[in-house]
Amino acid sequence: MEERTATNTVNEQAVQPKATAMQTVANLISVIFHPVFMPLAMALVIYKLAPAGFAGMQPKQVVLLFASIGISTLFFPLFAIGLMKPLGFIGSFRMPAARDRIIPLLATMIFYFWISHVFNNLPAMPLALRVLLRGNFWGIILVFLANIFTKVSMHTAAAGGMIGILIVLLMTSPANMILPLFVGLIVAGIIGSARLALGAHQRGDVWLGYIIGIIAQLGAYVYVSS
């Protein structure tokens, strides 16, 4: 009996470092692919994969373009959320409970709406970029609504948006987008696996996030291109 107990203790000690290492990697993935970084990151991906849409712009215009996206989708949301904890609107920056996300989502929704509305009315703006920003706005609305009922994964919603805009590029770009889409699917799978490894969401919430992101981008494409 004592020998079996000792063996179990050794096994637990061997498994614990692996579990800790897995959680560390999952945390790192969650930070790198945090939803707040994804709109700007995907805008840059569009610029690299489909540069023809930016052909009529001067370099200074392109810089101002991405600066505007970064300010509206990255700086303002981070700044707003940074103020919410000291003011008592959220209990933790991790927002573990669904109710903690309500005010941050509403604030981010306003910033996403503004940048989407402005870019949609600018002349000669690349179609894929207008779709991306409109899809991000619609996606965060769907996440907000889903959050009323369940703690949907915002990470996989952003990853689904990535897949959705890559599908749009596959349909609209003359370049072959099969490889970027394949890479995007792998990255999206890694993001979802990381969230499950951390126990941050149920499996259904992870899949719901993917569905929301893809639907929002494809719906935005139909709307913007019509």
pLDDT over 90 at 78, yes or no: yes
Helix (H, G, I), strand (E, B) or coil at 81: helix
The structure tokens listed for 225 are 């291109």
| pLDDT (0 to 100) of residue 57 | 87
Mean pLDDT computed over 170-197: 94
pLDDT over 80 at 7, yes or no: no
What is the pTM assigned to this prediction?
A: 0.88
The answer to whether 165 touches 136, Cβ cutoff 8 Å, is no
Mean pLDDT computed over 153-176: 95
**For the chain, how big is the Rg over CA atoms in Å?**
20
Helix (H, G, I), strand (E, B) or coil at 68: helix
pLDDT over 80 at 13, yes or no: no
Alpha helices in 88-202 (DSSP H): 102-120, 127-147, 154-172, 178-197
The answer to whether 149 touches 206, Cβ cutoff 8 Å, is no
Mean pLDDT computed over 28-57: 93
Each domain of the chain, given as residue ranges in start order, spans 27-225
| pLDDT (0 to 100) of residue 87 | 81
| pLDDT (0 to 100) of residue 2 | 45
Q: Which of 139, 133, 144, 134 minimizes the C-alpha distance to 106?
A: 144
The answer to whether 213 touches 158, Cβ cutoff 8 Å, is yes
| pLDDT (0 to 100) of residue 16 | 54
Report the C-alpha gap between 62 and 57 in whole angstroms: 6
Chain segment 109-128, per-residue pLDDT in tens: 999 999 999 988 887 889 99
